[in-house]
Structure formats: C-alpha cells, structure tokens
Structure 1
C-alpha cells in the first residue's frame, strides 16, 4: 500500500446533505441526526464537512476514534479554537468582543494544560465520592420531595417541566450556595443559554428566522449570569460559607486570585452543566421507560438494576452532543492527514450508538452490560460532575421506582433543538403511584 493509505481531505468530503444535517438544530430534536451518524460510521467515519459560512471540520463518529482524540490532549486542544460549534460570522464577533479569544467564557471546557489541571483541582475534591457520600442524605431528602410533588399531580404530569428539571437544579444550587428563591432564574438562564437555537427556549425567537450571518450576537444571557454571580461572589468573599461558590470566590492560581472572567465562567459551568445534563438523562430515562413497559417491569422487579438504568439513560440521551477540538500539529490520524489548526467535531451520541461497541445500540436496555458509553467524555476532560450526576439519578430512581406502579406517554414528547447540548423539553406522562 505505501502512501496510498493516506488520502487527501478532498477524498473524504462528506456529502452536503449529510454535512448540513450535522449543524441543523432540528435534526437533533427529531432524531434524524442518528441516521446521519449511522451513515457516517459506515461510510465516512472521519470525514470532512465543508459548508459555506463555516470553517471546515472533521467529523468524528466512531467510539474508538472519539476516545483516541479525547486521550491525546497535547495533540488535540480545546482552547485554541471555539470548543462549541459556531459559524464564521459568530466566531468573528466573539473574537472582536473578547480581544482575539474565540471563547465568550473560559471554563474548564475551554482550557488546556497547564491551566486546565490547576483550575480543575480547585473544586475537584467537592465532586469526588468521599465528599459526595456526605451529601447523600441531603440529596435523598430533595429526591423524596420531588417524588412527593409528582405523586401530588394525581396521575398526569409533564415529567420534564414538573420533576426532571427541578430536582438536579435544586441539588446543584444547594451545593453551589445559591438561595432556593433564585432557582427559577437560574433555570431560565440555563435554558436560554443551551436552548439558544430552540424556538421555544431561546430569548430571541425572531433572530432564528434570519440567516446565521445576519443574526445579532446576543450575549445578554451570559451578562445576566455574570452579574448574578459577581454579586454572589462578593458576598462569599466577605462571608465564606461551606459551599462551592465560596471555594470559587476565594480561590487562587499560582498565588493570584482568579480573574473575573475565569471566576464567572466557573460559576456558569457549574450552574448550567451541573443540572441541565442530569435533568436530560432523567427525562430521557422516563421517556424510554414509558415507551418500553418490559424494561420498566425489569428494573421495577430488580432494584439492583438501578445503576445500570442510570448508565443506559445517559448513553441513550447523551445530553452533550458535540464538542470541538483542534489539531496542534500535522498528524496522520485514523488514516487521515490532519493539518495543524484543523477543527474536529466529536459526536458523542454517535459514539454511544456505535455498533462496534454496543449490541443493539438503538434499543434501550436497563440491564445493558457492559456499557462503555462516552457521554462523560474521556481523558483529561472527563466530566468533573459525573459521580454527582450518577448519584443524583440513582437516588431519584431508588425513591421513585418503589412508588411508581405504571407509566405511559400521555401526548407528544419533544426534544430541544440544539447542536451542542440537548434533551427532552416536554414529556407528558400518565402514571399510577403505589
């Protein structure tokens, strides 16, 4: 074979209809994205998407390749280019606003070494099992309240809006140190941030009608978040309490207090990613159980399957759909010639339906073993909150399943429309409580 094994990028261009499907928020809501992923895994597992108005990007759809990119943090950076999918026009606007940086926020997600490990270390111990065990009773009390509220609905509810959204929100805000009275505001801001491309969740529905290059750049959501957390931060510096906000407010890196941008970014990622993805997985689980009575019966009969139900619901929903990386040097990777600066889209929901790793990947199985899903990422950027998320979900199901006799859909559920983070936004169910 010799040189023949490495083909040029031109030979790996993704057909335009498939490429456009990757960046269309509605395709992530109605499930068409899974057909695109299936085609790509089979025909072009590391192909190049070339779309007018968008920088070309390589599309990583196989589980093995996604883990490999995630493992090699020196070779594939998070911070050099936008970490979330964006258009050329939006990228220009962000760089103008941020003095050349492609990031509106500088969270752990946008960092590489040496900063990434230092910033991660600030809060890491909070999210580790020894500390979380101390929170178990508080979380269980919150879960029990959520189940009681559901029981009080009298057999019908929108499980997402009445249960799934509020439980993880209350848990993370309790840990962060945000007063309960501010939770509705935090929820709305999170939905506006992650749901910016969803006509029902966005702050600016009018803008969605315009072509991307004409949309005004709306950072008002981030400004609102920052203003809120700046006040909270001042309070926690003046009077630290035993919560995560006090840790962030008073932290130093290399002997210096962390900057305003980095502090605000830290608050925002904990306050958004800290509940939204968990809510989505809880909603995704209930949706799947309502559609698969035999799976519901299985886990109901055998509570030892709850941890496995949790993992399967995370695989099934994969709330974080995509992250971007960029190559730090020319490299041959998975049989492709990547150039320094090339942009890559990691497709987690595709990796989590990869036939090479999962038997019957399009079936929801509460007893799936093994379940090597990649929903929390891999390598240095492995989700900081994964133990907390799994613990919250486990506790909720431990409280809910013994009391839940039956569940079925009671209308049309719906997913949010977004390329970056999405999940169920409506889930009408009928249920019987014991």
Structure 2
C-alpha cells in the first residue's frame, strides 16, 4: 500500500469494514506522512492528521481550529446540499457544528444532565437496564446477534429515557439513527444520495419540532423539557437549534456506546485470557471499559478548519483548509501506547482520544462509561462460555460506527 492509497482509505466508507486494512493504512500514515493531503473524487480536499500529539494540539486550540463550516467528512455533493439548507436556516446545527462563544452557551443548556451528581442519580436505572438486557440474552437461549438484539437497545433505552421519550418511539429513533450514521452502508442507509440524507434529517426535525412544541406547552421535568424551554439572552432556542440538540443526544448518545459495547465483547471473545482476567478481578472493570473505548474508537473522525495560516507537525496549512482528525489512528499511536494492538483490560495509563479533547470533549462521556461498566458488570460474572457463531460485520462509514452484526453462542450461569 502506498501513502496516497493509505490517504484515500480515510475517504472510503467501506474501508472501515476491514479493520486490518484500515489499521495498515493508518500505521503507514503515522510513520511516513502524519499530515497528508487527501484529494479524491467526490470530496473537497483535506489534510489527514493521524498522530496522537498532532490531534491533541489541534483539539487544544479551538480558536485556531474551527468546527464550522465542516465538522465532519462528507461528500462534496452532500456538503453542497447541507450548505443550501443552512442558507435557508433549516440545517442541522448542534454544538458539534458550533464554535465559541455560541458553542459554550449552547453546551451549557444540557451540561448539568451529564455531570457527576446527575450520573449518580441515574446509576440505579442504568444498572437495572443492564440487568434486563443480560436477562434478555438468557431468554434468547444461547444464540443471538449481540448487536441487533442487545447492544443497540440498551443504551438507546438509557438516553431516550433521559430525554423523556415514550418507548413506543424508540424503534423509530433507532431506525433514523442508523440511517443517518450508516448512510453509506447498504444494510442501514436509506440511500446514497444527498437527498436521501437530507430526507433523514427532515424526518428527525419533524419529530423533534413536534416534541419541542409539546414540551413548551407542558414541561415534564426531563431533558427534552430542559432543551425546549432553555433561553439564551432571554429568548427561547430557535426550533431548528433545539431540534439539532435533540438529534445529537438521541443519536450520538446511544450509537457510540452500543458500538463500544459490541466491539468490547468481540475483543473479549478474541482475547479469552483478558476475559478470564476480568472475570477473576472485577476491579479491572473501569480500566477494561477505557480499553474497550480505545479499541473501538466509535467516532472515526471529526474535521476542523484553520482560521489562519498555520502548520501542523511542520506541514503548512492555509487559512480555510480543513484537517481530518483520525481517532482510530491516534488511539493506536505507538508513541503513546505500549503495544497498541494488544487488547489489555488493565491498560494504565490509557490516554485515548475517543471522546475528543478540549472544549468539544464529549458531553456524554461519563454516561457512556457508566453504561459500559454496568453492562459488563452484569454480563461477565454470568458468562460461563462465549464464542463467535459466524463472522462479525462492520458498518461502512467515515464518521460514527462499529459492528452491525456480532453472532455469538454462549452459556449464561
């Protein structure tokens, strides 16, 4: 594989379905071209940044490196379609898309719901849901697709309960999330055109505009009510900004966690000595959860745009040029992690960047950690035996994703 071929991997959704090929490309880029210009048909050119230190430096300087106007890697056609919606005021504008001071003000709207005090209040419910989903595995009789029958549902129930949505709407939210993040995947995407993607956004907005109106008319004490009735400078949030806030929490708030839980179980299956180690020493659960997060890196990339001429690792970057921050690469960086391709439930230190860094650090990181620990605290002691029952499959994506199928055979005590 050449350096130019390795760079093109980052703009190839199907490359993320082949982890061996993906990491071959990322290792080559870290070694030979850690800041590499990528220019492939269908995409606006960008610089791929693959080393942990460089990504950390960019994340730290949020005044120089902006989320707007291109926070995620998209095709040029989709960029154009979304820009047209932005001009009309109908585009998705969550805190992911914003920079300070707007970002700081909007982030504060939901921040209290994810602070330690709130997490302590939620912990009993999370443990209860974890136990329910391990019980579901027992009811399935020793065979299941762990992704489709367990992993996607557990964090979905947590985050949508926090928002205050009725369980009858959960399947709709799951389908729309998979269509949005899996837009490039033949199993999960609605279709591959910009129009298909914007249609998914329109469905989300229709649902959440209605929710906003209902929570403003009758607040119910949940996170949805907090967002609907939040005020900035004395004014209620614009309906599209409120809807975008819901979309971010309702999608990223569960999809990334379900990917980590599924990928974490797959890692334990492929590394039985680590599963034994965790079973024998439950005190390793916090570090095991961090290792699962590093190992899976469910957010594949974010984009930043230079607000002034600058350089990264000696490579000049002009004002207005975009960089892609590759988190799977940073989390396998040989300069930061001892034996980075070894899954180690006791890894310490573990300076992964899976939640990002700086002002855009993941709002729901504490909740994700709690959910992962709770699920495996219930599952590992009861898991007498487990093995693959077919080939796992990954979602085609360049943004957020992980396993879409994990067939397993198991015995629960």
Same fold (TM over 0.5): yes
Secondary structure, counterpart of 2:263 in structure 1 = helix
Aligned to 2:167: 180
> 1:381-401: per-residue Cα shift (whole Å, max 9, x none)?
000000000001111111111
Aligned to 1:62: 51
Aligned to 2:280: 301
Does the CA-based 8 Å contact 2:260-2:297 persist in structure 1? yes
Aligned to 1:107: 94
User: What is the 5 A alignment of 1:45-84?
Assistant: 45-79=34-68, 81-84=69-72
User: What is the 5 A alignment of 1:237-248?
Assistant: 237-248=216-227
Does the CA-based 8 Å contact 2:274-2:345 persist in structure 1? yes
Unaligned ranges ≥5, structure 2: none
Pairing 1:134–2:121 present: yes
Pairing 1:415–2:404 present: no
Aligned to 1:352: 331
> 1:294-347: per-residue Cα shift (whole Å, max 9, x none)?
111000111001111110110000000010000000113321111110100000
Secondary structure, counterpart of 1:337 in structure 2 = strand
Does the CA-based 8 Å contact 2:7-2:36 persist in structure 1? no
Does the CA-based 8 Å contact 1:57-1:344 persist in structure 2? yes
Aligned to 2:181: 194
> 1:230-286: per-residue Cα shift (whole Å, max 9, x none)?
121112111111210000000111111110110010000000000000000000011
Pairing 1:16–2:4 present: yes
Secondary structure, counterpart of 2:250 in structure 1 = helix
Aligned to 1:251: 230
Moved over 3 A (4+): 215-218
Report deviation, 1:89: 2.5
User: What is the 5 A alignment of 1:11-410?
Assistant: 15-31=3-19, 32-79=21-68, 81-99=69-87, 104-204=91-191, 207=192, 216=195, 218-410=197-389
Report deviation, 1:112: 0.3
TM-align CA RMSD? 1.4
Distance of 2:131 and 2:280 partners within structure 1: 20
Report deviation, 1:291: 1.1
Under a length normalisation based on structure 2, what TM-score does the superposition of the two structures give? 0.97
Give the count of matched residue pairs.
Answer: 411
Secondary structure, counterpart of 1:407 in structure 2 = strand
Does the CA-based 8 Å contact 1:189-1:225 persist in structure 2? yes
Report deviation, 1:218: 3.4
Report deviation, 1:42: 0.2
Secondary structure, counterpart of 1:372 in structure 2 = coil
> 1:153-210: per-residue Cα shift (whole Å, max 9, x none)?
1111111111100000000011001101110111011000000000000112xx47xx
Distance of 1:402 and 1:366 partners within structure 2: 15
Unaligned ranges ≥5, structure 1: 1-13, 209-214
Does the CA-based 8 Å contact 2:385-2:412 persist in structure 1? yes
Secondary structure, counterpart of 1:147 in structure 2 = helix
Distance of 2:134 and 2:197 partners within structure 1: 37
Does the CA-based 8 Å contact 2:260-2:293 persist in structure 1? yes
Does the CA-based 8 Å contact 1:289-1:407 persist in structure 2? no
